[in-house]
Chains A and B, each alone.
Chain A
Amino acid sequence: MAQEIYYEDINVGDAMPELVKGPIQKLQHVMYAGASGDFNPLHTDDDFAKAIGMDGVIAHGMLIMGFVGQAITSWIPRKYLKKFGVRFAGMTKPNNTITVTGKVTDRRVEAGENLITCEVVAQDENGDVKITGHFEAALPSRG
């Protein structure tokens, strides 16, 4: 859970605290489908997934983005988060364990706001990349 954090305490190159999620079970796909309203059977029905040429179900990309969001707001309070964007780079399968890492790539004062930009990545236990992304936050100053 995010503690208060100040612009002066953040430097370019700082690492975001790592977050490990999983191993992901098919049950979690079902929970996410119900919670999000995304009932695409590709995420919950192995027969459907196989019929369209997959090995089986894959996780919702937005579930993995949710993990990345959890990593961010475990570090930076929600109200400071201004922008968050990702590219879905790979499919996540049942039993994958996802590790979210990130680092600060820029800090600057702009229009009176203390902004930091961070790059984030979500990878499985083999190092295969599922998400690459970035976020921007406006932090309070100790000043």
Chain B
Amino acid sequence: MAVDKKFIGREYGPLTYEIGKEKIKEYAAAIRNEDPHYMDDEFAKNSKYGGIIAPPTFAVIYSGMLAAPFFMDSELNLDFAMLVHGEQEFEFYEVVRPHDVITTTGKIANIENKEKVDVVSLETYSKNQDGKDVCKAIFTFVIRKR
């Protein structure tokens, strides 16, 4: 069954996420990204950032939290077995650091009903504890029709 276009504009959040330094290191290690900006305290302290920062794609962790209430929204009736992550976009503003408290809100930005697939886009907006923008993200999911 197609995802109903009436859900365009439906909002989720806000959800908050506190950035952990060891979580950043764990994420960088999983990518096998040895860039010391993300893992080496001593190096990072003397960098232009003055400490460890999060790599750009770490945004999927704090902004992607909003995917949980979206996926679990039973009214959408998403067919998980047929769902794939089709596209991902980020716009970056402030650099993210350990102990930042990120608040993310979002909405269903678009739903397209095509012949063989539905395409659903979730747009999220994340701010830090100072109210400054850190990231806008668009998660686009493609759901094949059975």
Contacts and interface: CB of A to CB of B under 8 A. Distances in A.
Interface residues of B, number: 32
Given A77-B48, A79-B49, A32 B30 contact: yes
Interface in A8-45: 21, 28, 31-32, 34-38
A87 B119 CA distance: 13
A61 interface: yes
A88 B88 contact: yes
Contacts of A82: 91-92
Contacts of B35: 1, 70, 73-74
29 contacts: A1-B35, A31-B29, A34-B26, A34-B30, A36-B30, A36-B60, A36-B61, A38-B64, A62-B57, A62-B60, A62-B85, A63-B30, A66-B30, A66-B55, A69-B31, A69-B56, A74-B35, A77-B48, A78-B37, A78-B53, A78-B56, A81-B92, A82-B91, A83-B90, A84-B89, A85-B87, A85-B89, A86-B87, A86-B88
B29 A65 contact: no
B63 to A, nearest CB: 12
Nearest to A131: B88
Contacts of B60: 36, 62, 65
A79 B54 CA distance: 11
B32 interface: yes
Contacts of A83: 89-92
B1 interface: no
Contacts of B76: none
Contacts of B95: 78-79
A85 B138 CA distance: 9
B86 interface: yes
Nearest to A67: B31
* Chain A to chain B: the 5 pairs with minimum beta-carbon distance, closest first: A85-B89, A35-B30, A69-B57, A31-B30, A66-B31
Contact of A28 (B26, B30, B81, B85): B30
Interface string B36-75: 1100000000001100010111001100100000000000
A72 interface: yes
